[in-house]
Amino acid sequence: MLGAVPRALTRARREPPPEVVALTVLVGLALGIHGLGLAVSAAAFPPAAQVLPLLFGGLLLGRRAMRQLMLVVAGCLVWDVLALGFAESRPGALVTVVVTGVVANEFSRSREETGLGGLRGDSVLVELRRRLELQGELPGLESPWCAETVLRPAGGGPFAGDFVVSSSADGGRRLDIALVDVSGKGVEAGARALLLSGALGGLLDALEPADFLPAANRYLVTQDWDEGFATAVHLSLDLETGAYLVESAGHPPTAHFDAGSGRWSLLDTAGPALGLMRKATYTPDRGFLRPGDALLLYTDGLVEVPGRDLTVGIDKLLGAAEHLIARGFQGGAEHLVEQVGADASDDRGLVLIWRSR
């Protein structure tokens, strides 16, 4: 019972204030600028300062509330012109306020028509980002298994087309992981990633490992997106024996570290990207993770640079991965992304899973 109180307070802090509160504050700001300009100094509080409530209104208010704010600002401007005179009110500044109001109103209208109007817009986008971040968390693994995931949007933005889905099957004996790269960038790619992650997460739970990528491909074909394709790599790992299956859909090759030889090697997987053809076959690579072994799954944004062959980027990634052998794999996923893809202009995703000795 007592534990519910902190949770309720946390939710209250996260929720944006009601739109009526924002409207009241902005109306008060507009009236305050107007009143101080008349009572104190029109130079210190000029009519042009009304751009401030209008700008905030375009960001925070829905279309109806924005119109109410514009009426208040318009009334203040008319009063200022009558009280100060047209020349004293600075016609150029008044035109700036009017143009700002038109632009802010259009922005408010656009956000509302796309379902992101007013304060709800920020909360929707934040919720989208939070769900994508939670989606990348892997199930808790018991010793000797460890795994790390890193997802980085292009240009340091909040949304990425790279995502991870995972599933624990057979009573926790089998771990399935899919690292997916959706075409595009930014909010548009993030929205497609959210839709696709839900669908692929369900398929990963419901299907046998060999059926996952063909089913995922059929799903993308039916979506009929303008940029309706994605690349993916799927790992199915038996946590008791260490046996694994890796299959790829247009994805860069998975790297396997063999503790016996002390070397990284690339697995031989092949298959077309998801959503390009109705019927597609995927050739898996099977093997074992023995004590000290590791697997490295990554998206092309980590190794691909315009004008450079992809193998060069892969060699650079494996070269950085060589240094993990001496320092240990703990924290290795973050280290590799920082070393190889810190300045990349594309979304980057990496999954590192290893078996301790």
C-alpha 206/C-alpha 203 separation (Å) is: 5
- The confidence score (pLDDT) of residue 6 equals 42
- The confidence score (pLDDT) of residue 5 equals 40
C-alpha 41/C-alpha 21 separation (Å) is: 28
- Backbone dihedral angles phi then psi of residue 265, each to the nearest 5 degrees: -140, 160
- In the block, tokens 């980002």 appear at 129
**Quick one: 219 exposed, middle or buried, by C-beta within 10 A (0-12, 13-18, 19+)?**
middle
**pLDDT tens column, 148-167:** 999 888 766 666 778 899 98
β-pair partners for 351: 149, 297
Token pair of 33 as six digits = 């600028």
- The confidence score (pLDDT) of residue 146 equals 95
In CATH, the number for domain 140-355 is 3.60.40.10
- In the block, tokens 């209008």 appear at 54
Per-residue pLDDT averaged across 248-268, rounded?
94
pTM of the entire predicted model:
0.68
Asked if the model's pLDDT at residue 294 lies above 90, the reply is yes
**pLDDT tens column, 100-131:** 888 888 877 776 665 555 555 555 556 666 66
- The confidence score (pLDDT) of residue 7 equals 45
CB 119 within 8 A of CB 306: no
Asked if the model's pLDDT at residue 245 lies above 90, the reply is yes
- The confidence score (pLDDT) of residue 89 equals 60
- Comparing 20-34, 107-121, 137-151, 284-298, the range with the smallest average pLDDT is 107-121
Per-residue pLDDT averaged across 49-72, rounded?
86
Q: How confident is the model at residue 287 (pLDDT cuts 50, 70, 90)?
A: very high
3-state helix, strand, coil in the chain (%, to 5): 50, 20, 30
Asked if the model's pLDDT at residue 301 lies above 50, the reply is yes
CB 66 within 8 A of CB 105: yes
Helix axes 186-206 and 118-135, enclosed angle (nearest 10): 50
- The confidence score (pLDDT) of residue 324 equals 92
- The confidence score (pLDDT) of residue 86 equals 66
Nearest to 39 by CA among 101, 77, 84: 84
Q: Where are the domains of the chain?
A: 4-122, 140-355
Query: How many Cα atoms within 13 Å fall on the side-chain side of residue 153?
Result: 18
Whole-angstrom CA distances from 175 to 192, 244, 346 are 25, 9, 28
Find the DSSP H helices in 136-207.
186-206
Bigger pLDDT: 8 or 316? Answer: 316
Nearest to 37 by CA among 29, 46, 28: 46
**Quick one: 348 exposed, middle or buried, by C-beta within 10 A (0-12, 13-18, 19+)?**
buried
Sign of the torsion angle spanned by Cα atoms 152, 158, 164, 167: positive
Asked if the model's pLDDT at residue 271 lies above 50, the reply is yes
C-alpha 179/C-alpha 212 separation (Å) is: 13
- Backbone dihedral angles phi then psi of residue 154, each to the nearest 5 degrees: -65, 135
- Comparing 34-38, 138-142, 304-308, 347-351, the range with the smallest average pLDDT is 304-308
Q: How confident is the model at residue 254 (pLDDT cuts 50, 70, 90)?
A: very high
CB 54 within 8 A of CB 70: yes
Token pair of 205 as six digits = 């739970």
β-pair partners for 238: 174
- Comparing 77-81, 100-104, 125-129, 325-329, the range with the smallest average pLDDT is 125-129
